[in-house]
Amino acid sequence: MGEYVLLILGTALVNNVVLVKFLGLCPFMGVSSKVDSALGMGLATTFVLTLAAVAGWLLERFVLGPLDIGFLRILTFILVIAAVVQFTEMAVRKLSPALHQVLGIFLPLITTNCAVLGVALLNVQEDHGFLQSVLYGLGSALGFTLVMLLFAGLRERLALARVPAAFAGTPIAFVAAGLLSLAFMGFAGLA
Amino acid sequence: MIAAIFSLTTLGLTLGWLLGVAARYLKVEGNPLAEQVTELLPGSQCGQCGYPGCAPAAEAIASRAASVTICPPGGRALAEQLAGLLGVPVDLSGVVDKAPVIAHIHENLCVGCTKCFKRCPTDAIMGANNMIHSVFADACTGCELCFEVCPTECIEMRTVTPTLQTWYWPEPSVLPA
């Protein structure tokens, strides 16, 4: 039990996908200007990441391993991720047209989010069991969502602050992201 | 190798089938009338009607917010078809059948002000500040937005001469009875 909690904490905070592994920076910078859209994006990515990590593990265990076609790993993982993202987009469009409108192109872009593929591949690399894979994917996704929310909150505040003209908009956002990454270094050694 | 081919094919087919089933269950009810109107419109997204593309224009026409005669490239044939589809009377006397046009910049008159360059929705104009501008003919949709803003009036809208590559059967001008 303790090791599972530690696994979730480790993937969410210590080895955070965005701020420590530096994966998935595109939606991180692109959708984080408002807290609502950041939350929606985070939840969509959580769904995709968890499913992709699990599907990847199942693929590796029952198809790629036994048939010794490990060289097809990236190809098949991308295939699965694309299908899951398609499904997620259909679901979001049905359940919340407003969110679908707000996220726009970033929803299908989750396919190219290297955090999703990266977590799926790392999952296989670290030779986890089934439950560990689920928690690995879930933990990484929760870490992603957490960081998206934090950054969105920061950016909403920054939009109202007195920022020098040369830094206004994207530059100060990148500086804030760097500082947030530095802050997350404080978790090193926790797990 | 057989294993690789077989597994990838099976994976693709399974995922495709699952997505198809999901699409059936998660279908969003679009506006069927707007979709029919979209199919009738030319689809070149030129913007001459004032809407940002053919799909928004179709929505407006379907909801009666816009008249059936708003599409210049469609001409009389399109207005007639749309009127038949929507069941509205239409006055065709004001509709002029314009041939498709392409913008052409007369380079001896261009001063390089970049006004047209900034307005082009398809990025068909090349040039920079103080450089002579020119139009990429295959990117131009003939929306005339550049034509309106040129201060030296150096842009001419030329009719497109059909070549063997660009000619196609025109859609029937009358709806089948």
**Which residues 6+ apart lie within 8 Å of B61 measured at CB?**
B34, B37, B67, B68, B70, B82, B86
Any residues with CB less than 8 A from the CB of B64 and at least 6 apart, and which?
B86, B88
Mean pLDDT of B64-72: 83
Q: Using the beta-carbon criterion (under 8 Å), do B8 and A90 form an inter-chain contact?
A: no
* pTM listed for this prediction: 0.65
Question: What backbone phi and psi angles, to 5 degrees, belong to A185?
Answer: -65, -20
Residue B19 has a CB neighbour count (10 Å cut-off) of: 17
For an interface test with A, the pick among B11, B24, B29, B31 (most A C-beta atoms closer than 10 Å) comes out as: B11
pLDDT in tens for each of the 191 residues of chain A?
A: 888 999 999 999 999 999 999 998 988 988 888 898 899 889 999 999 999 999 999 999 998 888 888 899 999 999 999 999 999 999 988 888 888 877 878 888 888 888 999 999 999 998 889 999 999 999 999 999 999 999 999 999 998 999 999 998 889 999 999 999 999 999 888 87
pLDDT-derived band at B172 (thresholds 50, 70, 90) equals: low
Residue A56 · residue A82 · CB < 8 Å: no
Give just the sign of the alpha carbon dihedral A103, A52, A187, A179.
Answer: negative
pLDDT-based confidence at residue B174 (cuts at 50, 70, 90): low
Q: Which residue of A has its CA nearest to B9?
A: A76
The nearest alpha carbon in chain B to A90 belongs to B26
Question: What domains appear along chain B, each with residue ranges and CATH number?
Answer: 32-94 (1.10.15), 101-159 (3.30.70.20)
What CA–CA distance (Å, rounded) separates A50 from B98?
A: 55
Query: In this predicted model, what pLDDT tens digit does every residue of B105-136 receive, in sequence order?
Result: 898 888 888 888 888 877 888 888 888 898 88
What's the pLDDT at A191? 73
pLDDT at A139: 94
pLDDT tens figures, B128-151: 888 889 888 888 877 788 888 888
Query: Which ipTM did the prediction report?
Result: 0.78
Instruction: Tell me the nearest-neighbour CA distance from B30 into chain A, angstroms.
Output: 11
Name the phi and psi angles at B129, rounded to 5: -55, 130
* Residue with token string 């599907």: A55
Q: Which of residues 16-75 of B touch A (CB under 8 A)?
A: 16, 18-19, 22-23, 26-28
Q: Between chains, do A91 and B7 touch, taking CB under 8 Å as contact?
A: no
- State the pLDDT at residue A190: 81
Using CA coordinates, name the residue in chain B closest to A80.
Answer: B15
CA distance B22 to B154: 54
Q: Do A90 and B4 touch (CB under 8 A)?
A: no
Q: Find the DSSP H helices in A60-129.
A: 73-95, 97-103, 114-125
**Pairing mode of beta strands B134-135, B155-159:** unpaired
Is the Cα dihedral A100, A102, A105, A109 positive or negative? negative
